[in-house]
Amino acid sequence: MWEMHEYENQAALTQALTAKLGQCIRDCVAERGKASIALSGGSTPQTLYQQLSHQALPWQSVTVSLVDERWVDEVHPQSNARMIKNSLIQNEARRARFISMKTSHADAFAAASSLGSILARQTLPLDLVLLGMGLDGHTASFFPHAQGLEVALSDQCRQVCCAIQPLPGDDEPAPLARMTLSLNTILSAHKRILYIRGETKRQVLEQALASGPFADMPVRAVLHNKPTLTEVYYAPDD
């Protein structure tokens, strides 16, 4: 299931999402003494993270982790951990605990089991997952027809996280391996938010909201899961 929240511009959307995430953190810490959120990389949420970093929240009781990660070290320019550390784990939010996904394993597939145990101990249960969406209909690292996708999307999957090898494409002839939370882990979070921007992404979303194979547009696996609600936040590009 999904619920749309549309805004006139990016400023209004960022303000609304900052308030939404901030309230979630306050409520969780008030109710059980801690909060755990998993965040996505990419260019779309950077302004949101920067704004959120200045909020006076009980950050010392917050664990921030990742939805997915390229299998690269944090010094790599494409590292999601690097982006989130540079944009969110600053200012007031520097007191939060950050959990990375990259381990010392050379191969992502070899790391999935041991990393899953670490994430289970240190991040679960997740209070909120913030997702993005690519023009190919991927979310998290659920790339269309990728190696490992069937396992990651399976309702029988008991892994916290799964390795993914995207197929080569015209824009990325040798894509990096990824690690991603499994679909079941994402669906078990208390709240799910899909954050998209721009008319092109809106058109992709409309395709994803229509029925069709999950392997073609894996974001459908989240949006069309009937027992769970995913809130979609959208605004056009400024």
Residues 73-86: tens digit of each pLDDT: 999 999 999 999 99
Q: With beta carbons less than 8 A apart as the criterion, state whether 37 and 125 touch.
A: no
Residues of the chain with pLDDT > 90, as a percent, come to 96
pTM over the 0.85 mark = yes
Q: With beta carbons less than 8 A apart as the criterion, state whether 37 and 25 touch.
A: yes
Domain residue limits, the chain: 2-137+187-211+226-235
In 3-state terms, what secondary structure has residue 87? helix
At 50 the pLDDT is 98
So what's the architecture of 2-137+187-211+226-235 in CATH?
3-Layer(aba) Sandwich (3.40)
Task: Report which of 99, 93, 2 is spatially closest to residue 48, judged by C-alpha positions.
Answer: 93
Residues 182-237: tens digit of each pLDDT: 999 999 999 999 999 999 999 999 999 999 999 999 999 999 999 999 999 999 99
The one-character DSSP state at 156 is T
Looking up tokens 């990742």 gives 66
Give the strand order in the sheet containing 35-39. Answer: 2-6, 230-235, 191-197, 128-131, 35-39, 62-66, 97-98
Residues 85-135: tens digit of each pLDDT: 999 999 999 999 999 999 999 999 999 999 999 999 999 999 999 999 999
Residue 125: cis peptide before it, omega within 30 degrees of 0: yes
Cα 14 from Cα 21, distance rounded (Å): 10
Cα 5 from Cα 118, distance rounded (Å): 34
Q: How confident is the model at residue 174 (pLDDT cuts 50, 70, 90)?
A: confident
Contacts of 156 (CB under 8 A, 6+ apart): none
Determine the average pLDDT of the residues in 145-159. 97
| Cross-strand pairs, 195 | 233
Which residue type is seen at 156?
A: Q
The number of helices, as runs of H, and strands, as runs of E, in the chain is 8, 10
